A and B are shown apart, each in its own frame.
Chain A
């Protein structure tokens, strides 16, 4: 019998069982592949999302580092509307980005002649917050250094003496008031944060003198120190150590923490106050409320992408500047908030960069960036030293 070609076993159709098994196996296979692909796709999506977050974080860190070096959020020299730390506070003193030329001191003292350097100051010349003349007792001149001495620390009558611990009294020279003038002048001109880059490193944040800083409580206490510059004067309230010995004075200088007000807090008269987050590193008074207040008052902050897509992470960066035991510290926070996952994480770091005095030298006296830092006039000096 001849078989029909279609009846050949090799060319016959699938049976129902074969078809069902094939479909089932195919379904399992396809499902597995689909799951694999879906998983891979999700991994790629997640990796892309994380890559975007990483790139934005990198950008946030870079922007924070730029802010550490150029202070543009704190004071934008090319935009007069973004210079909140220039001019006078309500309390009377000036803020850290004010030109020294705008902070004259009506009190005159002189004439003074330094026979060694040849620097002279006339009797009628107003004393600015910082005398820009490099001959005027520059900080690198050893004669400007503080002569704090040990009898001061003891609670004896010696501590009330008027010897020149702050005045560098050289018995062969006439009495001079460089130290008094500079400390008070800098408090007037810059506030507490700015002082640390202008005075020699062993300076104390107090002085003997006849006049109080602008807007400060008036009066003179033991040893000829203005009330505003001791513990009980409230301005330098480290709340430890009396005003009658070195301990209290040094703790005002080294043990207290001062900060640079951020733009949002520039109108709050904070340039002449101490940071109430503990006056030194071991203090136990740190708590959430004071740290939160400190961070809010000291923040120069910005949103990295204010008009970003809604599903992109919100990245902000902020820089907090403060004096910690005499060190200028730039503490940075880069915060990333993901709208997709709801997660928030913060990268905190500190770094070395431009200090306040350097930032003042980056700026022209009125507006604009300095083009040639070696020859151009700056906000810090009328002419480079």
Chain B
């Protein structure tokens, strides 16, 4: 058997090593190009997330104009609705819950929205930034199941062919104890789990934490808001001072430098929006033969649903919006002093 000399082995080694280096460098260039592409994409992704926050902020402004302002959670009483950021009953600053009757004297005293009036204080401050980190809760309060059909038609006796409402929908995600005990259908109904269902699990889902947020500053007119939309890990804190003031340093390892790095990577955009309480009268929607079309410009909000799905009657674009509308949106070219 012929043996190769060291010179031949060295030549082969050089050849193999050279070709491997070429292939490795080519692969490296390829991977670096892909990585650059992904990093470039992440900027666009953050901007997109920040823009989604504009939609979230507008939705909040609309919904919070009417809902969520009860003095305390009280299951025994019905939820009290409010009457808008500008209270449509008397033009005063809202949202105020229905805690009393608006008298003619009150109406005369405060007719214009700019007049804060003396008819009770608003539940939302003027001129004070409010922060909204937008992670997903593990379980929202009062969460319900997404089951489409709780009572399928039975094919076996004794209920064969009959639909029934043994489990009326919607059913809670957390068993609230109200469902009859199958082992004792006639037994007492317990509400032992009601409070846990009511409160849910407010801890954030890890894969949604620290991605995006928005902040609101309500202007003195009451219906105009400065909206800051952010995509990044600061949870909507503007500065380390603000973090310390909120005693939230643990969120950022108590490290100002880490917080600063998050700020540098973040996308922030500023807008002003104006809310209007105007919506179409619901009777017009419900009673007309073409009810789905009779709400004029009631949904002239911020959404682009028409273009997204122009051939469909379904969706929010066809429904009256009882949270009011967003009258206009203005992107600010520079960072405002107060946000």
- The distance from the CB of A194 to the nearest CB of chain B, in whole angstroms, is 11
Say yes or no: A327 contacts B26, CB within 8 Å: no
* Nearest A residue (CB) for B224: A385
Chain A residues 305 to 336 lying within 8 A of chain B, measured CB to CB, are 322-331
Residues of B within 8 A of A44 (CB): 26, 29-30, 33
Please choose the segment from B164-172, B193-201, B287-295 that sits at the chain A interface, where 4 or more of its residues have CB less than 8 A away: B287-295
Residues of A within 8 A of B278 (CB): 139-140, 142, 144-145, 200-202
* Nearest B residue (CB) for A254: B296
Say yes or no: B299 contacts A325, CB within 8 Å: yes
Please choose the segment from A62-70, A176-184, A215-223 that sits at the chain B interface, where 4 or more of its residues have CB less than 8 A away: A62-70
Say yes or no: A326 contacts B284, CB within 8 Å: no
A353–B26 Cα distance when bound, in Å, is: 43
Is A362 interfacial (CB 8 A cutoff)? yes
Residues of A within 8 A of B47 (CB): 62, 65
Say yes or no: A331 contacts B304, CB within 8 Å: yes
Size class of the contact patch on chain A: 35 or more
Size class of the contact patch on chain B: 35 or more
| Residue in contact with B330 in the complex, picked from A47, A150, A251, A358, CB distance below 8 Å | A358
Say yes or no: B19 contacts A33, CB within 8 Å: yes
Say yes or no: B329 contacts A355, CB within 8 Å: yes
Is B58 interfacial (CB 8 A cutoff)? yes
Chain A residues 131 to 164 lying within 8 A of chain B, measured CB to CB, are 134-135, 138-142, 144-146, 148, 150, 153
Please choose the segment from A53-61, A101-109, A226-234 that sits at the chain B interface, where 4 or more of its residues have CB less than 8 A away: A53-61
Binding site for A on B (CB under 8 A): 3, 19, 22-23, 26-27, 29-30, 33-34, 36-37, 40-41, 43-44, 47, 51, 54-55, 58, 86, 88, 91, 111-114, 219, 221, 223, 271-272, 274-281, 283-284, 287-288, 290, 293-313, 317, 324-325, 327-334, 336
Residues of B within 8 A of A69 (CB): 331
| Residue in contact with A373 in the complex, picked from B44, B308, B332, CB distance below 8 Å | B332
A37–B47 Cα distance when bound, in Å, is: 39
Say yes or no: B33 contacts A374, CB within 8 Å: no
Give the number of A-B contacts (CB < 8 Å). Answer: 219
Residues of B within 8 A of A385 (CB): 221
A168–B219 Cα distance when bound, in Å, is: 29
- The distance from the CB of B92 to the nearest CB of chain A, in whole angstroms, is 12
Residues of B within 8 A of A326 (CB): 296-300
Is A357 interfacial (CB 8 A cutoff)? yes
- Beyond the given A201-B327, A326-B296, A359-B330, please list 14 additional residue pairs across the A-B interface where CB-CB is below 8 A: A44-B26, A55-B37, A58-B44, A117-B112, A141-B113, A153-B288, A201-B299, A201-B300, A204-B296, A324-B304, A326-B298, A327-B306, A352-B55, A353-B54
- The distance from the CB of A180 to the nearest CB of chain B, in whole angstroms, is 16
Residues of B within 8 A of A247 (CB): 290
* Nearest B residue (CB) for A61: B44
Chain A residues 186 to 235 lying within 8 A of chain B, measured CB to CB, are 196-197, 199-204
Say yes or no: A58 contacts B280, CB within 8 Å: no
- The distance from the CB of B207 to the nearest CB of chain A, in whole angstroms, is 24
Say yes or no: B297 contacts A253, CB within 8 Å: yes
- The distance from the CB of A68 to the nearest CB of chain B, in whole angstroms, is 9
Say yes or no: B23 contacts A70, CB within 8 Å: no
A231–B58 Cα distance when bound, in Å, is: 35
**Most chain B Cβ neighbours within 10 Å, of A247, A358, A385:** A358
A360–B297 Cα distance when bound, in Å, is: 21
Q: What would 17 A/B residue contacts be, using CB atoms closer than 8 Å?
A: A43-B30, A44-B30, A54-B40, A58-B43, A65-B47, A142-B278, A146-B296, A148-B296, A150-B284, A199-B297, A201-B279, A201-B297, A324-B306, A326-B300, A331-B304, A358-B329, A359-B330
* Nearest A residue (CB) for B86: A140
Say yes or no: B304 contacts A202, CB within 8 Å: no
**Most chain A Cβ neighbours within 10 Å, of B221, B272, B284:** B284
A385–B302 Cα distance when bound, in Å, is: 21
Chain A residues 222 to 273 lying within 8 A of chain B, measured CB to CB, are 246-247, 250-251, 253-255
- The distance from the CB of A325 to the nearest CB of chain B, in whole angstroms, is 5
